[in-house]
Each structure stands twice: as C-alpha cells, then as structure tokens.
Amino acid sequence: MESSGLVSKLFKVNDDYAATLDGGLCAHSSFLKTHEGSRQRETRITFDNERRKASYVERDTVKNAVLASREVDILPCVSEIVGGLYRMRTLNLDIGQTAQVPISDGKKSAMVRVDFQRRETVKTPAGLYNTMRYEAHLFNNVIYRRPGRVYVWLTDDRRRLPVQIQVRLQLAIGTITLQLEKEGT
C-alpha cells in the first residue's frame, strides 16, 4: 500500500503485507512491514491452530527494539484481517442477512459480524462495477477499540472481486478509501 496525492506529500506511506492461509482460509502467519513517515516497524503474527494461540511481535526497525510481544487465544480456523476479506468472498448472503467470521489481529480474536447491506454500482479507476456492499464490524471494541466502520464492495458476479474498501474513522483523517485501479490478467 502506498499513499498518493496530497496525503503522499504530507505523510509518505509505503507498507508491505503478506499472509499465509491454508485451503480453508485459516491463518498460519502474517507479516507487515510499515514505513509511514519516520516510523518503521515490522509486525509478525504466527497462528497455531492446534493450540488455538496467536503469537504477536512488533518491532521498531530503526531502534532495533521489540515494542510489543504477546500471545492470545484464538478461535478455530481464525482469519487474519486480509484473509477475512477472502472469507467474505465465499459468503452466500441475501440483502439484510448476516454472517460471523472468526478474525484475529494477533492481539485480539473475535467473531466478526458481516452484514450484506445492499447492491450498488461503484465507479473505480478500473471501471464501473455492479457490487454487493458489506459492512464488517471490526471497530467499536470488536477487534479494534476505536470507533469506526468498514465497508467492502464485492462484484455482484461469480468472481466477487473486491473493488472498493472504505474505512470511516472518527479521527482527524476521517475516511480512507481503497479502490481497484486495474484488474489482473
């Protein structure tokens, strides 16, 4: 993920994220390398599904110091945050229906409610898409303490391609919108 436009001039963001999932979309590990302004961190989460534990380690790579380290209980076949997006793509819900998805960020684990809210047409740099809008209830003390909302738009076809993700926070930054720029071949 890279910042662009005015945000990039004020605060440069260059983050890399990788996750390992099994065939059932259960998390095995995730790794996040962040370079946000002068802040440089690495966060590694290892999921032990047999023991139902997640080990979380966050390091400051500039100071070569461990900032946080902990182990938490996890739900069976838990997904990390991005793996949860893949799970959403497998849901077969009708408008107004809800599902529960086990999610962990390595510091907390919860059954996250996902609501299929409505169908919408969404325009992105990659084109115009007929979509299904979902809300994933990750904020408000579910996974993250802060108040906020997350919306995900998936194409309304067999691909269920994520074309837009929007995070609305009650902070100075307000809303973060990620949009599909181009489809892979």
29 occurs within a structural domain: yes
- The residue segments making up the domain with residue 34 are 5-179
- Distance from C-alpha of 181 to C-alpha of 185, rounded to nearest angstrom: 13
| Partners of 21 in the β-ladder | 27
- Distance from C-alpha of 31 to C-alpha of 44, rounded to nearest angstrom: 5
Number of domains within the chain: 1
Q: Higher confidence at residue 155 or residue 3?
A: 155
75 occurs within a structural domain: yes
185 occurs within a structural domain: no
- Distance from C-alpha of 168 to C-alpha of 174, rounded to nearest angstrom: 6
The residues, any chain, with a CB within 8 Å of residue 127's CB and separated by 6 or more, are: none
145 occurs within a structural domain: yes
Q: Quick: pLDDT tens for 51-101.
A: 999 999 999 999 999 999 999 999 999 999 989 988 999 999 999 999 999
184 occurs within a structural domain: no
Reported pTM? 0.86
144 occurs within a structural domain: yes
